[in-house]
Amino acid sequence: MNEFSENPTAILLLTVWSEPGTFVLRARVTRTPDVRSSGASDCLSGRDAVLASVREWLDMCEIELRR
């Protein structure tokens, strides 16, 4: 068995900024629930969208950990 199958690892990377002259939160969210699979990346606008993406990632992590 390799170390990943014994210790699943998930990754979430947030890059956050605002556009000049605005106060709108922008973010690139790169995530994977398991480092053995390729990740996904989205560019989001607004706090609610970023939080929803993080929640979705945490849900995927919980599913992977139960396997």
Count of helices and strands (H, E) across the chain: 2, 3
Backbone angles phi and psi of 8, in degrees to 5: -60, 140
The model's confidence at residue 1, banded by pLDDT at 50, 70 and 90, is very low
As beta bridge partners, residue 17 has 26
Sole residue written with tokens 């939080």 = 51
Q: Where are the domains of the chain?
A: 3-66
Which residues, including other chains, have CB under 8 Å from residue 56's CB and lie 6 or more apart?
Answer: none
Confidence of residue 6 (pLDDT cuts 50, 70, 90): low
What's the pLDDT tens digit per position in 38-48?
888 999 999 99
